[in-house]
A and B are shown apart, each in its own frame.
Chain A
Amino acid sequence: MGAGYGQGFELTPEGPIIVFPTTLGPWLDYTINGLVIGNIYALLAVGLALIFGVSHLINFAHGSVYMVGAYIGWLCVTKLNLPLPVTFVTVAAGCGLLGAVIERVGLRPLRNAPRIAPLLATIGLSVVLDQSAQLLFSPDPRALPTQLPTWRIAIGGGSIGALDLLIAGVGIGSAGLLYGFLRFTKLGWAVRATALDRDAAQQCGVDVDKVNRTVFAIASALGGVSGLLVGMYYNTIDPNMGFQAGLKGIVAQLIGGVGNVPGAIAGSLLLGLIESYGIALFGTSYRNLFAFVALILILVLRPNGLFAQARRLPPEPLTGTFIAPSRPLVLPKWAVWGLAALALALPLAVQQPYLLQTLGNAWLYALLALSLTLVAGTVGQVSLGHAGLLAIGAYASSLLALDAGVPVLLAVPLAGLVAAALGTALVYPAFRLRGHYVSIATLAVGEIVTLVILNWESLTRGPIGVTGIPPLSVAGKPLVSGQWVYWVPLAVLLAFAALQSRLLNSHLGRTLRAIREDDVAARSYGVDLNRYKGLAFAVAGFIAGVGGALMAHFYSYINHETFPAPVSMLALTMVILGGLGNVAGAVLGAAVLVGLPELFRAAAEYRMLIYGVVLLLLIRFRPQGLLGTV
């Protein structure tokens, strides 16, 4: 389709055609556009950086607070007709209060729980907030008109308006105020002391709870105001606006260096510029691909962010010493075999295809959880992009079967090998990273996989997706009935679970756990970190790849939306819920989290709200996971 398309950019079989704008004019426009959008990212990044700086927590609920701010603003503007300054104060107060409540109800009870539990709590809170908004305000997007004057200043070929300037003012102003607050007020000192060492601060008489509450209130107030401003900017608000925005905010603050407030602003502007130049060079569809590749490069070259201070302490590992040593619930051998036999025999007794399909789905997701619990739990490399491995396995197996004519039974294990090799190679640059940086790097890898699938049309068929994927079949007989979608995943799962349990009990398992507990000590003991991490990711990639391949052959159709980012979140939730590193826990977590939404099906649009509440309760009362950490 390349011919006849002036500057429009097409991915041809020969690869991208890069069209450089020939004059300076467009570059000025791209630069300004990058700064304008970076300006918007900065609003969220500042709040996230503040919370991270103090509580070492990536707050996934921040995007939801931002959404709540937009809706409070919408109520003020369209229903109460309040003047703009009053709207701002109301939104800030409302969201500040919400932040304090989140800290009190969702996070403070978990202060002595493993560090990973609050992360999961923020995911649960964001489900609850998003679903509540959807129920209260309907899922339809709404217009949020601005009352600002409509004049625009022409710069280059484009223009900026009053709202752009206000957003910049709020972003830079709030960062300045925060800087002053942290430097010059007593409470600010307390916040910084808490950030450096919570226990020491407490011993010196700092009211740590008050500090946390203050930080959450300030950050949430800022998040709410951002939601209001961005809602006005696009004249659109909807209950799901938080997730993508939060993701961009997290990426932006990572570029600047986590927990670094001025760095978050610089990182946001830089992210905006990177995206804008990416569009200029490659086309609109490459925007996020460019952003995530840039993120990985920055992480690899400057692991503490671009603007980290030289004398900074090394980042705290997310798990490792933060995984509370809990006593795992160990099932006796006979019970494990008994349960496995029962599970295998179930389709003989129960012939409900719906139940079997749901459990079959649970076993498929258990493969994903098994894979993730190995890298996140056992080795301590918390991956937020695990759905990418499913996608690689699914595409590899489908394309092998369809384009290369490989029999399905052979294509599935081959797809596992492809996912193992490709997955390890993609994550390899992140091996030198620690803690949260690993999570964000893997998140970026997951996004990159999706975006490459979307854009590499000659191989993956791009947005059209792969149709007509043949089902698994033995001797010409397709295995498509309710029993087979249950038995095949279960058999594969049992084999991998047995293998992984053996692995964890061997010296290899102990070595992997040593890396998690203290990588410096492990290295000084002669453990080659990269080799062992590579081994773990390869095994994990194989398991998840086989899982993805099986899904593709059951679904018969896959595209870039079959394995979206929320699947990675779901996998992590399963793993933490079951107990990190715990093989039986991963299976249980998958069964619970695939089963609960089906169980609550009768509650229709309320079911995801119930799911969120149940998730929060589970974390609250069993923070180390249902079966405990291994």
Chain B
Amino acid sequence: MLDLILRSTALVAGTLSLLTALGVVQPAFSQPADPAKEPVVLGVSGPLTGQYAQYGAQWQRGFDLALEQVNAGGGIQGRPLRVQFEDSQSDPKQTVAIARKFVADSRIVAELGDFTSAASMAASPIYQNGGLVQFGFTNSHPDFTRGGDFVWSNALNQAEEMPVLADYAVTALGLKRVALLFINNDWGRTSKDLFAKAARERGAEVVGAEGYLADEKDFRSALVRVRDTRPDGIVLVSYYADGAQITRQLREAGLTQPVVAAGSVYSPKFLELGGAAVEGVHTTTPFFPGDPRPEVQTFVKAYTGKYGIEPDAYSSRAYDALLLLATVIRQSGTDRTAVRDGLATVKDAPSVVYGTVRFDPQTRRVDKPLSTRLVVKNGGFALWEPGTAKVSN
């Protein structure tokens, strides 16, 4: 009897979930009749489930906000702007399928994403051959835009970002013997090499470099190696969760040197997860809520009003990327090739990350991001003032 009840419960649950799935399918097929009011659709391929889901969720917050603003301002010449967010789990076998779907769907004007290099670059040939712009706004892999002339990126260029970080650590903070901890993926590895070069050029020595695996949580033994190189400062090429973890553990291990972290730790979560230990950590960021520029203030006010939290690096880049594409489409129209050509010629598009955006048509990347020097003070990110924070550790 119990078995029967279980069976039927299970079946009902299964049927219900299938119905839910189908129920969500329905609206996708209903299309408005008037072509002048028909939405302009941007495809997004990104992780909403799986191990990178947190980044996809941050993207979505940025996109939703940008969409609200674009559509409140009349959309694209009266047509509403929409985003079709397809969950890829950042799994290459799913991103290639999504790429085929987007390329074949004539409503899609351009594509944004994916998150990891393995997932994004597997899909690049399909976007390139299909003639649909793949706009990788977090793809910093040095070869990402070499996928073809439809592959563009406004991700921070590490060749620009790392010298800025080295300036902060070596020139401003006066560090001479730096130990580096970096996440051992394409971004961390490229950044490490560029930072080491920039630091040497500025007269500092990189005395140790430890690459750690992305899912690492225990850094005690790695920090013993760092300690034994007798550094006078520690540089982190980390995301916010691992950056917070390393900082906690290095303070617990009794290391008191100043910590300088790459801009990717810039997130309210870094402060939450790191607690008191991240006090005094230095970082640079292209985007800072305290920036007085009106576009930044509009964004910060709208974001905190909508979500009740401060924006982080990923949601600000998603917001920025969507506004940029909206600007390009407004100028160049909704033709896919026109969007590509529009990216090459767009000038002075407003951006919370860059100030204004302009692409190098050869590399299809953006140069010269803004950069603000920050330090964690009283549990929040604050502007760093020379001469004061140097001894705060």
Contact = CB atoms under 8 A, between A and B. Distances in A.
B3 to A, nearest CB: 7
Interface in A460-499: 462-465, 467-468, 471, 480-482, 485
24 contacts: A1-B196, A5-B209, A131-B49, A139-B56, A140-B57, A141-B269, A157-B224, A158-B252, A158-B254, A285-B212, A287-B212, A287-B221, A454-B213, A463-B188, A464-B189, A480-B126, A481-B129, A482-B100, A555-B122, A557-B122, A558-B122, A559-B118, A562-B122, A614-B14
A467 B122 CA distance: 10
Q: Which 9 residue pairs are nearest across A and B when measured between Cβ atoms?
A: A8-B208, A139-B53, A557-B121, A555-B122, A354-B101, A33-B220, A357-B100, A279-B221, A353-B100
Contacts of B289: none
A143 B273 contact: yes
Contact of B222 (A279, A557, A620): A279
A141 B179 contact: no
B210 A284 contact: yes
Contacts of B221: 29-30, 33-34, 275-276, 279-280, 284, 287
Given A143-B273, A354-B97, A613-B14, 12 more contacts: A5-B206, A9-B210, A29-B221, A143-B272, A235-B248, A354-B100, A357-B97, A554-B122, A555-B92, A558-B118, A602-B24, A605-B48
A510 B18 CA distance: 41
Nearest to A105: B6
A283 B209 CA distance: 9
Interface string B167-211: 000000000000111001110111001001000100001111111
Interface in A436-476: 454, 462-465, 467-468, 471
Contact of B224 (A4, A30, A145, A465): A30
Interface residues of A, number: 101
Contacts of B85: 604
Tell me which of A10, A134, A561 has the highest count of chain B C-beta atoms within 10 A of its own C-beta. A561
Nearest to B245: A234
A174 interface: no
Given A235-B248, A557-B117, A610 B20 contact: yes
Nearest to A240: B51
B54 A603 contact: no
Nearest to B183: A463
Given A140-B269, A554-B96, A5 B208 contact: yes
Contacts of B143: 467-468, 557
A236 interface: yes
Given A467-B143, A613-B14, A356 B224 contact: no
B97 A287 contact: no
B185 A606 contact: no
Interface string A155-171: 00111010000000000
B96 to A, nearest CB: 6
B33 interface: no
Interface string B63-90: 0000000000000000000000111010
B13 interface: yes
B21 A37 contact: no
A601 interface: yes
B217 to A, nearest CB: 5
Given A1-B193, A4-B206, A5-B208, A464 B49 contact: no
Given A471-B125, A557-B122, A561-B118, A33 B224 contact: yes
Give the dominant DSSP class at B's interface.
helix
Interface in B104-154: 104, 116-118, 121-122, 124-126, 129, 141-143, 146-147
Nearest to A557: B121
A236 B220 contact: no
A29 B224 contact: yes
B192 to A, nearest CB: 9
A607 B21 contact: yes
Interface string A61-99: 000000000000000000000000000000000000000
A288 interface: yes
B310 to A, nearest CB: 13
Given A7-B225, A37-B218, A605 B207 contact: no
Contacts of A468: 143, 146
A239 B185 CA distance: 22
Contact of A134 (B49, B126, B186, B196): B49
A177 to B, nearest CB: 27
Contacts of B57: 138-140
Give the dominant DSSP class at A's interface.
helix
A620 B7 CA distance: 9
A26 B209 contact: no
Contact of A465 (B6, B58, B117): B117
A183 interface: no
Interface stretch (A218-226, A427-435, A526-534, A592-600): A592-600
B50 interface: yes
A617 B59 CA distance: 33
A240 B51 CA distance: 6
A556 B14 contact: no
Nearest to A480: B129
B218 A8 contact: no
A99 to B, nearest CB: 18
B211 A284 contact: yes
Contacts of B186: 463-465, 559
Given A7-B208, A134-B53, A559 B100 contact: no
A594 B97 CA distance: 11
Given A8-B179, A159-B252, A482-B100, A463 B184 contact: yes
A6 B207 contact: yes
A112 interface: no
Contacts of A40: 218
A602 B86 CA distance: 8
A238 B228 CA distance: 32
A109 B85 CA distance: 39
B17 interface: yes
A283 B220 CA distance: 12
Contacts of A354: 97, 100-101, 104
A288 B96 contact: no
